[in-house]
Amino acid sequence: MKKVGVAILGLGVVGGGTYKILTGHRDFYRKSYGVDISVEAVLELRKERALALGIEEGKIATNIEEICSNPEVDIVVEVMGGVEPAKSFALAAISAGKSVVTSNKELVCKFGHELESAAKHNHVGLFYEASCVGGVPIIRALLDNLQGNKVISLMGIINGTTNYILTRMTQDGISYSEALKEAQKLGYAEANPSSDVEGFDATYKLSILSSLCFHTKIPYTDIYREGITQISPCDVQYGKRIGYAIKLLAIGKNTEKGVEVRVHPAFVKLGHPLASVNDSFNAVYLTGDSVGEVMLYGRGAGELPTGSAIVGDVIYCATHSQHRYSPFENTEKAKPSTKFIKNFESAYYIRLSAEDKAGELSKVTSVLSRNGISVAQVVQEQDGIRGEDGKVPLIVVTHETYEDSVRRAVEAINKNGGSTTVATVIRVVS
């Protein structure tokens, strides 16, 4: 029976989960796949953490050199997070002839091209299923199961922290700050949550996924990004009343005009599959030219779901002698021929603060019309909360239009110096 040794760099939540799965299912993998996978070393400075998991003291390394020089280690699992020292450690392992499995989306997003180039040079594998959408097997689906398709678009909820916060705001009517505190208390959000709530985490993941979907490098720096920190409870509830759920969406489209990639909050029409993805769950909704619409759904984070994705890569690496790499030219920047669409099309929810008098709506619709924007729905919230100036909320939902047109219209309304101003603009997915 083939024997494969694994080293784990870091025994935090994900590293600990990976160790538990590999050791707990060792006999199952022997019987099912004909391979004996054993954890031969861990790199963990907190020795008590390793010992508490039942790891032999002789297998606890204190530096990367011990891992790289260990002849029993074939695969190195990097679950440290961040760029450094994770990048240096991964490159050292690759140079030592060891395949690398990582859950590090920031590392793969920013330096995946360097890691893959080194892996090719050293004839080893690089695997990163766990870097995107936790336990949901999205990357394997793109590389293996959907190979017969040109993926036209993807739209996903790919950050569990923000989805939990927005779910609580929707279901409980609480504020963003209250929902964030609850998420932090439950361990869904970090003490410094900016990577999640400002959309960076989702942007890194969209860079990886859209590159695989569209077979061309999509750097994270070319993705439009907007977080959820400005979402108010009143907009969440107004949207709910008119048939929408609020989500932080990652959207990628490959069109004849170019590639469109963006991360931002959006209202999703109730009835769309993504509208019912709640709490810390994630989902990716794909459209292929042959298969049509496909949605993958599951836990987006956590000890065992993410560990499951890592172990899946370990088994795949252990049972395949030929290593495969990205189905596109994996470089730092996009090809010069790649055109990015910045003035994208969408429908929009616009909440205005208006004086409760005749003629205000017609002024607004006149400005929208001059900018080529067609109105699909108007709602005057008579029971809405009035501001100190006595103004009432007026909600307009547009038909699909251009981002630049909406920006110009909002600027014009706010510059008029009149009795109506724009309070909120949120994009709408129907």
Phi, psi (degrees; rounded to nearest 5) at 346: -165, 165
- Write the DSSP symbol of residue 340: B
By the 8 A CB rule, do 205 and 160 touch? no
Helices 303-319 & 26-33 angle (0-180, nearest 10): 40
Can you tell me the distance from the alpha carbon of 279 to that of 90, in angstroms, rounded to the nearest whole number? 33
Please enumerate in sequence order all residues whose Cβ is within 8 A of that of 56, keeping only pairs 6 or more positions apart, or say none: none
C-alpha torsion angle, residues 379, 380, 385, 388 (rounded to 10) = 130
**Strand partners of residue 126:** 100
Residue 54 burial (C-beta neighbours within 10 Å; 0-12, 13-18, 19+): exposed
> What residue type is assigned to position 85 of the chain?
P
- The angle formed by the CA atoms of residues 221, 197 and 247, to the nearest 5 degrees, is 95
Q: How many CB atoms lie within 10 A of CB 325?
A: 13
How many residues can be counted in the chain? 430
For 21, the enclosing helix (H) or strand (E) is helix 13-24
Is 247 catalytic? The answer is no
Closest C-alpha among 54, 40, 32, 43 to residue 4 = 40
Question: Of the residues 205, 217, 253, 391, which is catalytic?
Answer: 205
C-alpha torsion angle, residues 307, 312, 313, 315 (rounded to 10) = 120
DSSP SS3 for 52: helix
Q: Helices marked H in 25-85 — which ranges?
A: 26-33, 47-52, 64-68
Strands 244-254 and 151-157, how do they pair? antiparallel
Please enumerate in sequence order all residues whose Cβ is within 8 A of that of 356, keeping only pairs 6 or more positions apart, or say none: 390, 391, 392
Residue 131 burial (C-beta neighbours within 10 Å; 0-12, 13-18, 19+): buried
Which of the residues are catalytic? 205
